[in-house]
Amino acid sequence: MGLPMILMIVFLVWCPLLAFSLLNRIGAISIPDKVRLTVQLEGYPPIYEIESQGSELRAMYPDELKYLTDTMSKRYFPFPNGTDSMKRSRDCVSFIKEYSTNDVLVVNFRPESEVPWGISEESMSALIDQLNGNSSINFIVTAEISRPYDPNKKAAAKHSAHWSQEIAPNTTLRTQWINMLQNPGGGQTVSMEGAFPSYLLVPSEGAVVVPSPIADAIQLNQDNYQRPFNASDRDWFDTLKFSLANSTIGNVWVVQAQHPSQFTSVYFNASKITYGLHRDRTYVQTIVFVDRAFPSFFAKYLQGGIEGGDICEIHPKDACECDRHAECVPKPTIKRTQICGSLSDTSRRLTEVRKGLNMTDLLLVQSEGDIQRMESAALTDWQQRSVLAKLINALGSFVAANTDIICYFLAVLAHASGAGIITLPLPLMVFFWGTLSNPRPSKFFWVAMIAYTEFVIVTKFICQFTIFDFNSVSTQSKQAADPLTPEKVLGVQRQSNFAVYDVTLLFALFFHRYMLRKLGLWKDANLTVTFQNDHSVSETEEEVDLEDSPHRGKANGKHAKSPNEQATTSGDEHIDDEKRNEAGKDPVSSVKPGSSVTVQEGGAANPDSGGNPIARFIRQLFKPKFRYIRDFYPIMFGLDVVAFLIIAFGYSAFGEGGSGNVIGDIQSNRIPLTFVVMLFVMTLMIVIDRGLYLRKWIPGKLTYQLLIIVFLHIWIFFVLPSLTRRPAVENTVAKAFYVVKCLYLLVSAWQIRNGYPQLCIGNLLTHAYGLANMVCFKIVFARSNSWPVAAYIN
């Protein structure tokens, strides 16, 4: 019964996914993936342009569609029976009722930038001259809807439509436009009624149109019957209201919207820009609302006046009504002669304007007063919080900033809990690939970790059923004393809570993926081209070989450096030309004691492009473009000491012999040979690690790291079970030793990626000069032989 049940579960899960994929491929489900709205006067740059795509699309809620249908029924049925108007209104309601909530998508529009759309002086003068003349000018609204796959064209497709209104000569509307343009910031507004239809149909082929039943119903305003709307109401069209605000950065458009009143109080918030889309024939219900950040934000504060040449000089509590501006800070003073023309030229896209701006002119801090004001505001907000809130905030920030380390640690725990070959690739990928990737693992690494973790969970789940012979009671009783049975070696033996750590690891991986996507690092997580075009940083550092004697290096007029010692650069300190010539390389300074930052850049060619992937991986490891150098040897030494103590007090778990009481065995002179060998090996490893630290030899440290990884996993999970006749999954002491050594490998990998500091002092206890350091120093050197032993090791 077990195997048919598994097959049925796989069938029920896999077949719907396969069917959905095929339907999506052939175009039966062709969901629009982008909607763009453009508003402009004919012959002039856009007044504003917004778009929505991806995760901003959502299905319409059932209450929304029900209210929409009920409202249309009430407004379209008061006509006399037996008339064409009655038939057309019924057709209109029938057209709406054809669609379900899954057929309508709602789109939340977000602007490309918080910079307002401006109008240049030249465009304003030309527009005023044309409006004063006798030629007509059209107000145009363009809607463009993109599909990722069109079944007719067998490719991606775009559907667009244009709605225009004529601004005829000698009309009140034309006079309003002229008055607004001639007096920007004076409070004059222009309302374009019926600027955009509330309902659209985007067929599988052709352009976006107003659905014919609704179009017929709209024409009822020309009849003599009771109408669903009149010329001043126009319930089924959105009215856009325009005004001009005068600021120190130029004249900017302020756009607001007036919408059908029956919708605003029910299922839409009047502070957003939303649209609805249908997927197959793409029926569109368009209800336009003003976004909280754009342009209503500038409508309120640009009209109110700006002092000091700032874009926004309002306190957050007074100025910010939206989550996007919850942390508003004073904007910098911007000289109009420098960037006013760029912001006012609406013919250029915002991305081009952003690239053309000098970012140093947009610094948030322009004076010492800005720094003090920001610090005082942050301090006041922090002091008002309770101790528990501060603790929760700190813990949340700590977890969010170290999700990769959490994933590494959980991968180690997942393998330690299973102790089988099936989970062995998880820590191997972590130590051979993830922790040695510079500056961070690529997207492919995290995808591989997620995929393999899912494979482990599914495989372990399948192997828990009793259809397999090794899960029978008789087989388990026979093989209970054998630690090297196939299922135990593979790690798929039947046990309670078989996938707790694996599922936890999977959740952590998805959370880390979410954080990377939130920070914009998921699409290209390995920032190999971050500094590719930045030639303002220092040139590629040069390596100086360590001479046999430091005096010999100084005799040649150069300061002796150890292998792989890196030059660091800082903008706070400078070295004069004389010292620079003596050093023979770029200026050197440290950011703070014990740590430094190194930014490097090669010539015009990018050394990371092309070539063998393994060679490129090693080159990025030894010669990264960015380093954050810190001294982690005290942590590594402390972890080695903990591992040494685990072996010393739990050596019975690592071999035969002894009573388990280390002090009693030493007093009775019954020390097992295995115990002596392990202590000797651990001592030798500590000495080797200290030698690499004092020499600052990164290639040697990498080789030593790889050897430890291979030796540790072979010894703990393959050799040790055969010696102790205990499965690795049941050897708690060995698993504790494994976890401690894996923590050591994580810290060691950080040291390899970033290098050793320039100054490596041997006295670990005197890195800091606190009371605890002094007490520990006195205790260690209280014995007369401590100093000679330390000197001998060095």
| 374-383, 489-498, 594-603, 706-715, range with greatest mean pLDDT | 706-715
Quick one: 169 and 257 in the same domain?
yes
Q: What is the pLDDT of residue 742?
A: 93
**pLDDT confidence tier of residue 731, bands split at 50, 70 and 90:** confident
Distance between CA 78 and CA 89 in Å, rounded? 9
Domain interval for residue 3: 1-29
Decide if 693 is inside a domain.
yes
Give me the mean pLDDT over the 304-310 stretch: 34
Q: What is the pLDDT of residue 565?
A: 41
Query: Hey, which bits of 219-370 come out as E strands?
Result: 237-247, 250-258, 274-278, 283-287
Quick one: 182 and 242 in the same domain?
yes
Distance between CA 412 and CA 423 in Å, rounded? 9
Decide if 68 is inside a domain.
yes
Quick one: 15 and 120 in the same domain?
no
Quick one: 12 and 109 in the same domain?
no
**pLDDT confidence tier of residue 657, bands split at 50, 70 and 90:** low
**pLDDT confidence tier of residue 509, bands split at 50, 70 and 90:** very high
The count of domains in the chain is: 4
Give me the mean pLDDT over the 93-111 stretch: 57
Q: What is the pLDDT of residue 12?
A: 54
Decide if 458 is inside a domain.
yes
**pLDDT confidence tier of residue 7, bands split at 50, 70 and 90:** low
Quick one: 56 and 166 in the same domain?
yes
Q: Is residue 431 over pLDDT 80? A: yes
Distance between CA 708 and CA 432 in Å, rounded? 11
Q: Is residue 225 over pLDDT 50? A: no
Quick one: 18 and 155 in the same domain?
no
Query: Hey, which bits of 721-794 come out as E strands?
Result: none
What is the percentage of the chain residues whose pLDDT exceeds 90?
9
Q: In the structure, how many helices (H) and strands (E) does the chain have?
A: 30, 15
Tens of pLDDT, residues 539-585: 334 333 333 333 434 434 444 444 334 434 333 333 344 344 443 34
Quick one: 256 and 303 in the same domain?
yes
- 189 φ, ψ (degrees, to nearest 5): -130, 155
- The torsion region of residue 529 among left (phi > 0), alpha (psi -120 to 50) and beta comes to alpha
Distance between CA 47 and CA 298 in Å, rounded? 14
**Alpha-carbon torsion 696, 698, 699, 702, what sign?**
positive
Structure tokens at 757: 């500091």
Decide if 555 is inside a domain.
no
Tens of pLDDT, residues 134-150: 887 888 878 777 766 55
Domain boundary pick from 297, 325, 353: 325
Structure tokens at 196: 């955009």
Lowest mean pLDDT among 13-27, 51-65, 606-620, 640-654: 13-27
Quick one: 37 and 16 in the same domain?
no
Q: What is the pLDDT of residue 101?
A: 55
Domain boundary pick from 325, 346, 368: 325
Quick one: 42 and 6 in the same domain?
no
**pLDDT confidence tier of residue 407, bands split at 50, 70 and 90:** very high
Decide if 592 is inside a domain.
no
Tens of pLDDT, residues 708-727: 999 999 998 888 888 888 88
**Looking at the DSSP assignment, which residues form a beta bridge with residue 274?**
108, 287
Decide if 422 is inside a domain.
yes
Quick one: 104 and 56 in the same domain?
yes
Decide if 369 is inside a domain.
no
First and final C-alpha spacing in the chain: 67
Quick one: 182 and 253 in the same domain?
yes
Give me the mean pLDDT over the 248-263 stretch: 57
Q: Is residue 535 over pLDDT 50? A: no
Q: 0.75 exceeded by the pTM?
A: no
Decide if 370 is inside a domain.
no
| 78-92, 537-551, 684-698, range with greatest mean pLDDT | 684-698
Domain boundary pick from 291, 325, 359: 325
**pLDDT confidence tier of residue 69, bands split at 50, 70 and 90:** low
Quick one: 65 and 8 in the same domain?
no
